[in-house]
Structure 1
Amino acid sequence: MSSRLDNAASNAMVYVVDDDDSMRDAVGMLLRSVGLDVRTFASAQEFLACEMPDVPSCLILDVRLRGQSGLAVQEQIAASELGVPIVFMTAHGDIAMTVKAMKAGAQDFLAKPFRDQDMLDAVANALARDEERRKSRRSVADLRVCYGSLTPREREVMAFVVAGMMNKQIASEMNLSEITVKIHRGQAMKKMQARSLADLVRKAEALGVGPNQG
């Protein structure tokens, strides 16, 4: 996992939330030793109030915090749509707690005391997951820009095309000539940068485009 961390270290951020000063410092020191940028917090409130740079990130979160459980913080993060992967750590873990955390989307769950390598592996996996999430989000954002360049008529034709309708059927549905449909279809394919009908369908699915959205 060291190579994965080396690749991530230059543009990633790891957040550590633990009200135990010694544990917080130890985890921070471990992660900095492999070149990662780390920000540590004694409370979830401090973390939630911080400005987060737009880089691959993960959160190492203690399950039991003073005044608030880590699982409650996980719920807050999910509600805020931050999307940051969470690695839980606890000295008081049990099976039910682990299952609940993992079902809610936790990346990993480490019992204290944990091996340094286990923590580094968990962080590497979490940062890789966040990078993939960000790539997917950027891809959809690019698709929205392409879709936004379509005229209303091109969008309507695209919606019928991805629904599986033939040009002749679309022409009848829209009260247009078949050649006009072909022109709109060609423009939609070009603007969406679709290499094939299957590619157009895939992009439409990513955007949630269908006959009712066209």
Structure 2
Amino acid sequence: MSTGLKLLYIEDDAEIGRWVSDNLKERGYEIIWLTSGDQAVESGQGCCLAILDVMLPGLDGFTVGQRLKRSYPDMPILMLSARTSIDDKLQGLQFADDYLTKPFHPDELAARIEVLLRRSGAHANQPLLLKHLLVYEHENRIVRQDNGEEIILTGKQYQIFFYLLRHLGQILTKEQIYEGVWGEPYLDGDKTLMVHIRYLREKIELDPAAPEIVETIRGVGYRVRA
């Protein structure tokens, strides 16, 4: 089924490019695939999101991304790179909306694209399918897919869940989540986040004792798997 959404994809590696392009086409997207950034601005007309590899022949992905952002300020940009240094990520995130390191699973790429599209409004009316849930980002509600039951989240439950969704597939520490949601330093031993996640799981998990959506990464924190 077509989503009616066109994505600009720039990747010079033929094998990776074909794999990603074919996968996204199977998910209903129209893909404009370029192997360099020379024609990026012209090709970006009508696209609702750009996916850029950092290492490109000629103009690098950072330069291409900056040009796209100047021409299309509302277009979300997702950077892809095998380079994992924090300096590279910070450079990319000066203009890009997300940064995904290689190798990645196609489900994670697709999920991040959906989050960016919903945030930009291009995907606003289409929910994210996550396990057994249909997730609507712009309302404090989630509809369970299997029986259509509407789930209402409290403010903090909603903020925690969507903070995790905005970092889909990433393992986040308790400190990162607490400071991202509450906006203040996390105190070691504070059980507030754990209590809120327990109540969140009681609402969204089929079996809260064996969670499939909000996973605990023992000794580290939590993750929502793509």
TM-score by length of 2: 0.50
Answer yes or no: is 1:62 the counterpart of 2:53.
yes
Equivalent residues of 1:16, 1:41 under 8 A apart: yes
2:113 corresponds to which letter in structure 1?
V
1:51, 1:118 → 2: CA distance? 23
Please show how residues 181-192 of structure 1 align to structure 2 within 5 Å. Answer: none
| 3-state SS in 1 of match to 2:19 | helix
Establish whether residue 78 from structure 1 lines up as the match of residue 69 from structure 2: yes
How many residues are aligned here?
125
* 1:122 correspondence with 2:115: no
Q: Which residue of 1 aligns with 2:192?
A: none
Structure 2: give runs of 5+ residues left out of the alignment.
125-226
Change (3 A) 1:99 1:80: same
Q: Pick from 20, 38, 50 the counterpart of residue 45 of structure 1.
A: 38
- In the TM superposition, what is the alpha-carbon distance from 1:77 to its structure 2 partner? 1.6
How far apart in 2 are the matches of 1:81 and 1:51? 8
Q: Does 1:87 align with 2:78?
A: yes
SS in 1 for 2:93: helix
Q: Where is the helix percentage greater, Structure 1 or Structure 2?
A: 1
- How far is the alpha carbon of 1:52 from its aligned partner? 2.1
Query: Displacement, 1:120?
Result: 0.6
* Alpha-carbon RMSD: 2.4
Contact kept in structure 1, 2:32 and 2:43, CA below 8 Å:
no
Instruction: Please give the alpha-carbon distance, in whole angstroms, between the structure 2 residues aligned to 1:132 and 1:29.
Output: 21
Partner SS, residue 28 of structure 2 = coil
The letter of the residue matching 1:114 is F
Match of 2:27 among 31, 34, 43: 34
Kindly name which structure, 1 or 2, has the bigger radius of gyration based on alpha carbons: 1
Q: Tell me: CA distance 1:116–1:51, structure 2 relative to 1, closer, same or farther (3 Å).
A: closer
- Report what 1:188 is aligned to: none
Cα distance in 2, alignment partners of residues 49 and 132 from structure 1: 20
Q: Distance in 2 between matches of 1:51 and 1:88?
A: 15
What displacement does 1:21 show? Answer: 1.0
Summarize deviations over 1:142-185 as a string: whole Å, max 9, x none: xxxxxxxxxxxxxxxxxxxxxxxxxxxxxxxxxxxxxxxxxxxx
Partner Cα distance (1:15, 1:80) in 2:
14
User: Once the two structures are aligned, what percentage of the paired residues are identical?
Assistant: 22
Report the TM-score, using the length of structure 1 for normalisation: 0.53
Which protein has the bigger strand share? 2
User: What is the SS of the residue equivalent to 2:84?
Assistant: coil
Pair 1:45–1:12, CA change in 2 (3 A): same
Residues 1:12 and 2:2 aligned together: no
